[in-house]
Amino acid sequence: MNILVTGGAGFIGSHIVNGYIAAGHQVTVIDNLSSGELRFLNPKAKFYKMDILDSKVPEVLKNEKINAINHHAAQISVSDSVADPLFDANSNIIGTLQLIQSAVSSNIEKFVFASTGGAMYGEQIHFPANEDHPCRPLSPYGISKLCAENYLGFFNEQYGLSTTVLRYSNVFGPHQNPHGEAGVVAIFCEKLVKDQEPVICGDGEQTRDFISVRDVAQANLIALDPTCTGTFNVGTGKETSVNLLTESLLGISKKNISAAHDSPRDGEQRRSVIDYKKFHESFGWKPEVSLEQGLIETYDFFQKQTA
């Protein structure tokens, strides 16, 4: 299959590209490198330095004879979306809509969309949240992802575009950028590698559903199945507090460092965890990488980066 991966030089996208190529697919990558890095890009992938808003995207689809699109290019910062909702909407709504329209006009067979679990469900009513949980995003970022999901639903109904929406929990692993809107795992790994104390916002009892990027890449392989359509949560169904996460990373680092505490972040969710039962029962997907193993892999990656 000829697959276009947008954002394929980024954190999650680069792992998906590796998985697709290992499975024997031909992969083309579009990435504007605003957050992606060429050093993470598989050399077997064909690369276009291009924004998804570029008018030449349809030409790429035609020239590379693309059969499927995996859309991971996005404005990913929740705080930036709050500061500049228009920029967020331009990238995550207009950019995605243009790509969907190009997919329909190019007779693309499959469209896989990276969405969000935690930001989609907002303050949860029940734990873990399944796909039927009310979508109550509290940020422009979450709103833009929900809007894109609704557009995909429209194009599926109206034009028969085969669509798969994957709602991720908190993804972590090698290649994650520890700066900007980074995950706590990447931030803390870099701190510890540099012999700096990790800083916990608030009391540290806030929980997240941490999932390894390797499990996410496997989910994206399954999503290529023609029968895999609809919306699926991709998480572990397990809550881990930031305090417990920090304790684990301190143990892995073997550093004699203690964590510091700072004031809590405004509007931060207290608990976030999603249910993957639907994906498992439908297509057999389940998380295989334990939190401990994933943390070891991520810490080792950051250690090698600074060696």
Contacts with 173 (C-beta within 8 Å, 6 or more apart), sequence order: 11, 15, 185, 212, 213, 214, 294, 297, 298, 301
Q: Taking the domains of the chain in order of start, what are their residue ranges? A: 2-170+210-234, 172-209+238-273+289-305
Which SS3 state, helix, strand or coil, does residue 87 take? Answer: helix
152 to 78, 206, 229: CA distances (angstroms): 22, 32, 11
Give the tokens for residue 117. Answer: 């679990």
What amino acid positions are annotated as catalytic residues? 141
Report the CATH fold assignment for 172-209+238-273+289-305: UDP-galactose 4-epimerase; domain 1 (3.90.25)
Give residue 233's Cα distance to chain centre.
Answer: 12
Residues of the chain with pLDDT under 50: none
pTM equals 0.97
pLDDT at residue 181, rounded to an integer:
60
DSSP state of 90: I
Contacts with 105 (C-beta within 8 Å, 6 or more apart), sequence order: 58
| CA dihedral sign, ordered 260, 264, 270, 276 | negative
Contacts with 94 (C-beta within 8 Å, 6 or more apart), sequence order: 53
Amino acid at 130: N
Is 258 exposed, middle or buried, given 0-12, 13-18 or 19+ CB atoms closer than 10 A?
exposed
Inter-residue contact 216 to 171 (CB < 8 Å): yes
pLDDT at residue 81, rounded to an integer:
87
If one counts every other C-beta atom within 10 angstroms of the C-beta of residue 123, the result is 11
What's the CATH code, domain 2-170+210-234? 3.40.50.720
Contacts with 209 (C-beta within 8 Å, 6 or more apart), sequence order: 117, 118, 128, 169, 170, 235, 236, 237, 238, 239, 240, 272, 273, 274
Q: How many CA atoms lie within 13 A of 9 on its CB side?
A: 19
